[in-house]
Amino acid sequence: MATVIGAGDRSDARRNRAKVLSAAGEAFAERGLDVPLGDIARRAGVGAGTVYRHFPTKHSLVEAVFAQQLGELVASGERRMSRSAPTEAFFGFVLDVIDTSRSRTTICDVMSADASWPRPVLTATVARLHQLLTVLLDAAQRAGGVRPDVGPDDIVALTVGCAAMMTARHDRAAGLRLVRLTLDGLRPSGPVTEARHFRDVRGSAPGPACEECGAVLTVHPTGRPARYCGTTCRQRAHRRRPAP
């Protein structure tokens, strides 16, 4: 005779699955991905058999945790997009991702990852996250709130770096200040990455430096002091000179 599964049984199963996912997420954040499934079961308050019933392998549990966490970020971004102006929605979403990744560093691995996570559910969730990020970025750029020379992959790399920066600072306020300074570079206030203007390369070099690229120059005992490291930099500097 077939066993009839009632609504109460299904509710219990859903609750147990949610408990396992929550416990696993906390355990992974605290101890990394090598936490034994038995420890996760004890943290969730369920038996090991319950964990294996929902997640037959450790890999499937890890992927389910990641998919849930990324899905929560997608939902947060969609809410921001519907309630806020484009630029505010974009920066708010990026800060959400950074703040979430700060204590869940493995999210960063998934966001920038690839073939190591081939399961359809997780792949689909990562694709939704990237799609949402692209939509938010495009809208913010059209609104004039984000410089036009950055793309979604740049933003992903930036969030990974900012999350690491937040993790490195024990003072959350200090870490957040550095993150905001970094994100300010995305605003269209003019380029800050041109080598000639980004830093005083001549002042920081241990000896004479190329006026174009900042490379340290070889000092010769005779002849006129060199201004450039080679023909390429000399020609580039000459092209930049205003016409007489």
Task: List the CATH number of the domain containing 52.
Answer: 1.10.10.60
Residues 177 and 207 in one domain: no
Please report the pLDDT score of residue 110 as a whole number: 54
User: Is residue 3 a part of any domain in this protein?
Assistant: no
Cβ atoms of residues 95 and 179 within 8 Å: yes
Residues 204 and 98 in one domain: no
- Lowest-pLDDT range of 37-51, 161-175, 212-226: 212-226
Residues 150 and 38 in one domain: no
Residues 180 and 127 in one domain: yes
Range of the domain at 209: 195-240
Residues 182 and 199 in one domain: no
Cα 226 to its chain centre, rounded Å, is 43
Q: What is the mean pLDDT of the chain?
A: 79
User: Is residue 1 a part of any domain in this protein?
Assistant: no
Cβ atoms of residues 85 and 140 within 8 Å: no
Residues 207 and 182 in one domain: no
Domain limit, last residue, from 56, 74, 92: 56
Residue type, 209: A
What global pTM score does this model have? Answer: 0.65
Residues 138 and 32 in one domain: no
The CATH number covering residue 154 comes to 1.10.357.10
Domain count, the chain: 3
Residues 158 and 62 in one domain: yes
Model confidence at 77: pLDDT above 90: yes
Residue type, 226: A
**205 falls in which pLDDT band (50, 70, 90)?**
very low
User: Is residue 179 a part of any domain in this protein?
Assistant: yes
Please report the pLDDT score of residue 204 as a whole number: 46
